[in-house]
Structure 1
Amino acid sequence: MVTGKISILLVDDHAIVREGYRALLKKQPDLEVIAEAIDGNQAYQQYKLHTPDVTIMDLSLPGQSGVETIARIKQRNPRAKILVFTMHQNPRFAAQAINAGALGYVTKSSPPEVLLNAIHDVYSGRRTLSPDIAQALALEKTGHETAALESLTSREFEILRLLAEGKSKEEIAQTLSISAKTVSNCYYLVKSKIGVNSDIGLVHWAIKMRLIDIYRLK
């Protein structure tokens, strides 16, 4: 029996998307959106301020990404319960989000009841995946490249993704609020872990692993 409402922090950079899902959640008698955020840094600050029962977070955010924000929140509070709600259907993104500390991963193509059930699962401490992601993860090959990707930390994964998109080390440092030296150190670690020895090789590897889209590269 529910004795109180599950408090929720909703993180998405699209106002219309937040409005739509806020309306859905408002209809549920045991759910309450107590705070919202439009980017990773704001999500972290709102989490510190409100300590919600469940944080629902997109992965594609301006500046600091969802994966990095998940890791940051979990570092502050290891008991934080985070549900990723995103358009990304790539199982590798799901694996990274879970490795960073997310308990659930639901795609935005899922029916509303999948999201609502996932909120309750995550609140109860149960890991949950939308059916499409669960199937994709089950079919994922366990080869050397996948193992290399899974060996990356959340920060290394984000630096890899941003480097592959053509961002400079200085831009990445500013985006992730870390020093350029830290970016450089991670850069060499990433290349070593994935087994490439050039920037071109890094980009080709990221494309092959479907971490970025070719049309986004300039």
Structure 2
Amino acid sequence: MSQAIRVLLVDDHSIVRFGYQQLLIARSGVEIVGEADSCASAMMLYRSQEPDVVILDLAIPMDSDSEEVQSTAGGLEAIRRIRSYDPQARILVVSGLDSNPYPQRASQAGVLGYVTKKAASTDLYPAVVRVASGGEYYSKSIAQLVDCEEEAYEDNQLSQLTGRELEIFSMIAEGHKVNQIASIMHVSPKTVHAHRANLLRKLGINSNSEIIQMAMRAGILQT
């Protein structure tokens, strides 16, 4: 390559970012231009560094200054913000969330690749090279999910939720209160309550404890 691929790493765990650095700088043609641990810091660094590729975990907090405000929704929001600022942004998701609806939602949001953390040791470098050139790269198991027939995708209960409902589902599962969620999403508590009512109806459940149980089964929360 004539020029190094400039990469922004976005993950809220410093040890994970360090691991990605080691995987990438061991190969030629990659330069790490910044590290972010939240949606807000990712957006700030994207504006200042204008990287060629963003490596992004979905499970990041909205704001690194507030440990309580953390949700798997942070990554999806970061994708939206970055692509709103730069529709040509090349984003590669690297996530432990390896079942729908997350790969499907990320693909719909405009990412060019999705690598599972389990496959990062082998897939990360080729994925970065591919995405940097404007191509797509998905881990084998993820490609099957992204390319699945719409009918099969609809079998997944969480796929019934809108993007906002999925974000609220994730934040409720992680223990956030209505006022916290409203503050994160810049909406009123009344709007959050309305979304919560809709997602409960769609999922056929009745309480926050059932949301938590479903999130655990989907791998959104770790047991």
What TM-score range do you get, normalising by the shorter chain?
Answer: 0.7 to 0.9
Distance 1:13 1:164 in 2: 19
State the one-letter code of the partner of 2:55: I
How big is the shift at 1:151? 5.2
Secondary structure in 2 matching 1:85: strand
Q: Which runs of 5+ in 2 are unaligned?
A: 62-69
Report the aligned-residue RMSD. Answer: 2.9
| Larger CA deviation: 203-212 vs 16-25 | 203-212
Q: Mapping of 1:62-101 within 5 angstroms?
A: 62=61, 63=70, 65-101=74-110
Specify whether residues 196 and 70 from structure 1 end up closer, same or farther in structure 2 by C-alpha distance, changes over 3 A only. Answer: same
Distance 1:84 1:29 in 2: 21
Match of 2:39 in 1: 40
Q: Mapping of 1:151-166 within 5 angstroms?
A: 152-166=161-175
Distance 1:66 1:34 in 2: 19
| Larger CA deviation: 200-209 vs 90-99 | 200-209
TM-score (norm: length of structure 1): 0.81
Distance 1:21 1:212 in 2: 22
C-alpha distance after superposition, 1:37-56 (max 9, x if no partner): 01111111111211211100
| Larger CA deviation: 160-169 vs 39-48 | 160-169
Q: Mapping of 1:87-166 within 5 angstroms?
A: 87-110=96-119, 112-136=121-145, 142=152, 144-146=154-156, 149-150=158-159, 152-166=161-175
Specify whether residues 143 and 42 from structure 1 end up closer, same or farther in structure 2 by C-alpha distance, changes over 3 A only. Answer: closer
- Within the candidate set 192, 211, 221, 1:203 is matched to 211
Contact 1:38 1:61 in 2 (8 A): yes
Distance 2:185 2:132 in 1: 28
1:15 paired with 2:23, answer: no
1:24 paired with 2:23, answer: yes
How big is the shift at 1:107? 0.8
Q: Which runs of 5+ in 1 are unaligned?
A: none
Alignment size in residue pairs: 212
Specify whether residues 179 and 52 from structure 1 end up closer, same or farther in structure 2 by C-alpha distance, changes over 3 A only. Answer: farther
